[in-house]
Amino acid sequence: SQKIEQNSEALNIQEGKTATLTCNYTNYSPAYLQWYRQDPGRGPVFLLLIRENEKEKRKERLKVTFDTTLKQSLFHITASQPADSATYLCALEGGGSYIPTFGRGTSLIVHP
Amino acid sequence: DAGVIQSPRHEVTEMGQEVTLRCKPISGHNSLFWYRQTMMRGLELLIYFNNNVPIDDSGMPEDRFSAKMPNASFSTLKIQPSEPRDSAVYFCASSFEGGHQPQHFGDGTRLSIL
């Protein structure tokens, strides 16, 4: 069955460092992959979308990579700040469906 | 520019009662999604509407759940009768034409069934 895996353990890093979050998938051929941020008590907020033929995408301090061979996406936040602390979810879309399937998210905690 | 608006933000009710959750999507968006989020199962799609028509309701848990979209600016998710295992946060999201577009989420309804 299709599976999306994000690390369930929180990632703790120091302010100023680069945070790297992982999204792995199996039995899936996604054409698109999205990353969202979710703060406590709020709905997810869209951050970036990357297509299967794109290796990398950047937006300000954010960078996303998409490796269809490894079946993995990496989400990087450079020069992290305490305000970046949140849960980050990946969502995959493909296989003829227009509806993305979400991972369960990884919590990021940036310590001052 | 108003985002997706959900009401109520919190609902606490007793088992067996009817619960109605409401959603106003972003104006101009023609796709609407209802999700349920729990610690155990994460964010699960319940139902997807396109141009007010239900396209995929395979995620609706059982007949106790129903959803309607009478017009482009309003949707409801109803649970009748409610059970304690329905306790979760329910999100509504909207987007342009379903595919390859970012989804815009409301802030959810936290539902507790006692």
Q: What is the pLDDT of residues A28-77, one digit of tens each?
A: 788 889 999 999 999 999 999 999 889 899 999 999 999 989 999 999 99
Can the peptide bond before residue B81 be classed as cis, meaning omega within 30 degrees of 0? Answer: yes
CB contact under 8 A, B42 and A102: yes
Per-residue pLDDT, B97: 74
* pLDDT exceeds cutoff 90 at A103: yes
Using a CB-CB cut-off of 8 Å, the residues of chain A touching B33 are: 99
Sort out which chain A residues have CB atoms less than 8 A from B98's CB and list them: 98-99
**Residues of chain B with confidence (pLDDT) below 70:** 1, 98-99
Among B56, B105, B106, beta carbon nearest to A99: B56
- Where residue A17 falls among pLDDT bands split at 50, 70, 90? very high
Secondary structure (3-state) at B14: coil
- Residue range A76-80: mean pLDDT, rounded: 97
Q: What is the pLDDT at residue B52?
A: 95
Nearest to A31 by CA among A13, A53, A57: A53
Mean pLDDT, chain A, integer: 93
Interface mutation vs chain A, best among B5, B33, B43, B45, most A CBs within 10 Å = B43
For residue B100, what pLDDT is reported? 76
CA distance A36 to chain B (A): 9
Which two three-digit tokens encode residue B75?
Answer: 């949707």
Kindly determine whether residue A43 and residue B107, on different chains, have CB atoms separated by under 8 Å. yes
Q: List the single residue in A with minimal CA-CA distance to B101.
A: A49
Does B107 contact A41 at a Cβ distance shorter than 8 Å? yes
pLDDT at position B1, please? 63
Question: For residue B61, what are the CA distances in angstroms to A81, B88, B105?
Answer: 40, 13, 21
Task: Name every residue whose Cβ is closer than 8 Å to that of residue A81 and which is 6 or more positions away in sequence.
Answer: A15, A110
Q: Is B110 exposed, middle or buried (0-12, 13-18, 19+ CB in 10 A)?
A: middle
Kindly state the helix (H) or strand (E) to which residue B55 belongs, with its residue range: strand B53-56
Taking the C-alpha atoms of residue B72 and residue B53, their distance in angstroms, rounded to an integer, is: 10
How many of the other CB atoms lie within 10 Å of CB of B90? 22
Instruction: Kindly indicate the confidence band of residue A26, based on its pLDDT and cuts at 50, 70 and 90.
Output: confident
Q: Identify the three-state secondary structure at position B88.
A: strand
pLDDT at position A22 is: 97
Dihedral sign from CA coordinates of B105, B109, B110, B114: negative
Q: Tell me whether A41 touches chain B (CB under 8 Å).
A: yes
